[in-house]
């Protein structure tokens, strides 16, 4: 389990296409401090298994489903990625519950300055995810825990504070790119339970 509090930004060193999927190498430092082969590391909000660890990098294999559902297949060497290790039992849940299971991608529409290094991010979300997102609810974008400040006609708006723009890959993002979206898992559980307890309409 993750929290959506990014620990550091890594940099894509290489992407190697394979017969099924791909392998990426990511240059980083902090998330390697206590990682071992097989450790989970969230990369842009995607839970990946770290292999081939080196003092300043690690590799991870991307399944075809991961390439299809996330933006990791869009990345080129040099791109910044958000990194987070799983929450330890004694850690603080500073963000919200994040599984690292991306639901889909949104199109970044704008990242506009508000002043004093605050920013307003707008993204168009897929229609199938709209029902899980609510005003003042939580959403995970590229592995960042954020609060929904507006949502209308599938356009999501969030405020990005100075610390977030400084320590995440948002400083490197441009309109038109894809952002990974993970909806709040509680919303999906509530939806399923509601379907189970709601009787079907009479014919």
- Given a contact cutoff of 8 angstroms between Cβ atoms, the answer to whether 180 and 143 are in contact is yes
Copy the structure tokens of residue 106: 């949104």
pLDDT over threshold 80, residue 193: yes
The pLDDT value given to residue 203:
63
Tell me if residue 2 is catalytic: yes
Tell me if residue 59 is catalytic: no
- Angle (CA) 96-31-103 rounded to 5° is 40
Tell me if residue 50 is catalytic: no
The mean of the pLDDT values for the chain is 93
- Given a contact cutoff of 8 angstroms between Cβ atoms, the answer to whether 4 and 96 are in contact is yes
Mean pLDDT of 150-161: 96
The pLDDT value given to residue 91:
75
Question: Torsions phi, psi of 194, nearest 5?
Answer: -60, -40
Tell me if residue 105 is catalytic: no
Tell me if residue 35 is catalytic: no
pLDDT over threshold 90, residue 93: no
| Catalytic-role residue among 14, 135, 147, 189 | 147
| Catalytic-role residue among 20, 63, 110, 149 | 63
pLDDT over threshold 90, residue 72: yes
Copy the structure tokens of residue 174: 């441009």
Spatial distance between the Cα atoms of 59 and 36, rounded to a whole number of angstroms: 12
Sequence-ordered alpha helix ranges (H) in the chain: 64-69, 162-167, 185-197
Which domains can be identified in the chain, with CATH numbers?
Answer: 8-84 (2.40.30.20), 104-192 (2.40.30.20)
Spatial distance between the Cα atoms of 190 and 13, rounded to a whole number of angstroms: 40
pLDDT more than 70, % of the chain: 99
User: Shortest CA distance to 170 belongs to which of 32, 14, 45?
Assistant: 45
Over its C-alpha atoms, the chain yields an Rg (Å, rounded) of: 17
Confidence of residue 154 (pLDDT cuts 50, 70, 90): very high
Q: What is the pTM of this model?
A: 0.91
CA dihedral 87, 145, 106, 64 (to 10 degrees): 0
Copy the structure tokens of residue 124: 């168009």
**Residue written as tokens 């949104």?**
106
pLDDT more than 90, % of the chain: 83
Copy the structure tokens of residue 197: 């307890």
């Amino acid at each position: 389990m993750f929290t959506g509090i990014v620990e550091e930004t890594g940099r894509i060193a290489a992407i190697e296409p394979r017969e099924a999927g791909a392998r990426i190498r990511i240059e980083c430092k902090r998330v390697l401090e206590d990682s071992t082969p097989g450790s989970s590391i969230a990369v842009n909000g995607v839970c990946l298994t770290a292999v081939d660890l080196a003092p300043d990098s690690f590799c991870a294999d991307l399944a075809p489903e991961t390439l299809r559902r996330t933006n990791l297949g869009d990345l080129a060497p040099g791109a910044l990625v958000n990194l987070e290790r799983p929450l330890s039992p004694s850690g603080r849940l500073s963000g919200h519950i994040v599984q690292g299971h991306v639901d889909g991608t949104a199109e970044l529409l704008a990242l506009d300055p508000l002043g004093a290094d605050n920013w307003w991010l707008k993204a168009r979300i897929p229609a199938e995810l709209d029902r899980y997102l609510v005003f003042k609810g939580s959403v995970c974008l590229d592995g960042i825990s954020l609060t929904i400040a507006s949502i209308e006609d599938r356009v999501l708006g969030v405020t990005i504070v100075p610390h977030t723009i400084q320590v995440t890959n948002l400083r490197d993002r441009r309109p038109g790119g894809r952002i990974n979206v993970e909806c709040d898992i509680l919303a999906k559980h509530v939806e399923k339970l509601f379907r189970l307890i709601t009787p079907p309409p009479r014919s």
